[in-house]
Chains A and B, each alone.
Chain A
């Protein structure tokens, strides 16, 4: 199978509320799929269905031997929890000298300082915690990354660093990436295909072809200003 993921007629409902209806798409190995749509369109629920955290109808077929790294959007953590960033990463990669070196390298890659790595995860800023989750996902040597707004709350240099890191891993290791984003410039720049949720029917295709002002107005319910950076 050249596709790392095939989704066919996926529907998700919570009680009587239908969150997603008949969504179909594929992700080829090494591709990036951006998922966009207004709040409440079902983007996060789609990701949670893909990792089998919520029940769904239809077919979700992952390639055999796929390793998924998942970075959730926001977590409700106790500020006083005495688990440090290093404790959390060690939980992914139990303590050996090689694992400790890998953890240090990963912290450096995502830009978490030594001081922050020894702080409780409850007091990390939103951006720092998001980067920690990316580091945790990467420690599992994933073949697919699911990123739910990975740069929300991350400062500009941090966003650039994360985006470049993911692109570098894609080029080097053929990583496939599914990401949720509200930033259309990021979608244009990094996505091979884009899945738009929020209108009566999901739309799928390369960003330049399908992200028309009409479609954006339809899914967001108003005119959307966006900038395309071609560098």
Chain B
């Protein structure tokens, strides 16, 4: 594992911990998984067109987030059912379009060589995600307690919701290389769910979620490169171990 890979995976983990904290508090833990599946057709199209799969995946993820946001705006359409159906279709279509080793890498994350554009994009996008959550933290707190109260406090709730969903999608895109479409949702949710069990206030929650995501990512990366296996499962297993440990602590 190179220094660049480690650096990128750790900044991605910081972003995942922060975004995940709000996802868990907003009770959208179950949405993370199907949403990450939407990346697969994007990867398939990108591979067919011989462009970097990361960018194909990102385009689909950002579109997926826009779709969720649009559906949320239409009351009584059954958001969960629509997310479940659309994103399962995305997974099915994507797996038909991708084949062999590419599919395994896309599903579980690969340890391939990191290109400079990928590294630069990854670092900038992770920093943007971190900056968004840190700067909008107060507004996100008010919105999760009550969107109506947030509205009267001068917060543009619909806009903030869209920005959060797009940030969430971007974070999934950042982790695809390391965890793949099947497991990235888990790195966003498990550290945050663990932190939620242990934290007594918001700052503790954010610090713990980030720490657990970083430790799980570093340890998972190291184990995967040592055993020459895909990185995703090890990172998720490390995060799950922290979750189980939290039951001993509290």
Q: Decide: A88 and B141 in contact? CB cutoff 8 A.
A: yes
Q: Decide: B151 and A51 in contact? CB cutoff 8 A.
A: yes
Main secondary structure of the interface of B (DSSP, over half): helix
Given the contacts A51-B151, A90-B138, A83 and B197 also touching, CB distance less than 8 Å: no
Q: What size tier do the contact residues of chain A reach? A: 20 to 34
Q: Decide: B199 and A94 in contact? CB cutoff 8 A.
A: no
Contact of B153 among A48, A120, A121, A140 (CB under 8 A): A140
Kindly report which residue of chain A lies nearest to residue B25, judged by CB atoms.
A81
A121 to B203, CA, bound (A): 15
A53 to B147, CA, bound (A): 9
Q: Which residues of B contact A (CB under 8 A)?
A: 25, 27, 137-139, 141-142, 144-149, 151-153, 195-197, 199-205
A-B CB contact pairs (8 Å), 29 listed: A51-B148, A53-B151, A68-B152, A69-B152, A70-B148, A70-B149, A70-B152, A71-B149, A75-B146, A78-B25, A78-B27, A80-B197, A81-B25, A81-B196, A82-B195, A82-B199, A82-B200, A82-B204, A83-B202, A87-B141, A87-B202, A88-B145, A91-B141, A92-B138, A92-B153, A120-B200, A133-B149, A140-B152, A146-B152
Q: Decide: B142 and A91 in contact? CB cutoff 8 A.
A: yes
CB distance from A184 to the nearest CB of B (A): 26
Given the contacts A53-B147, A69-B152, A133-B149, A82 and B142 also touching, CB distance less than 8 Å: no
Give chain A residues whose Cβ lies under 8 Å from the Cβ of B25.
78, 81-83
Return the CB mask of A102-123 against B: 1 if under 8 Å, else 0. 0000000000000000101100
Given the contacts A81-B196, A91-B141, A52 and B205 also touching, CB distance less than 8 Å: no
Give chain A residues whose Cβ lies under 8 Å from the Cβ of B199.
82
Main secondary structure of the interface of A (DSSP, over half): mixed
Q: Does A24 contact B (CB under 8 A)?
A: no
Given the contacts A69-B152, A70-B148, A92 and B200 also touching, CB distance less than 8 Å: no
Given the contacts A81-B196, A84-B201, A91-B139, A121 and B149 also touching, CB distance less than 8 Å: no
Q: Does A17 contact B (CB under 8 A)?
A: no
CB distance from B150 to the nearest CB of A (A): 9
Return the CB mask of A59-78 against B: 1 if under 8 Å, else 0. 00000000011111001011
A221 to B195, CA, bound (A): 51
Give chain B residues whose Cβ lies under 8 Å from the Cβ of A80.
196-197
Q: Does A190 contact B (CB under 8 A)?
A: no
Give chain A residues whose Cβ lies under 8 Å from the Cβ of B203.
87
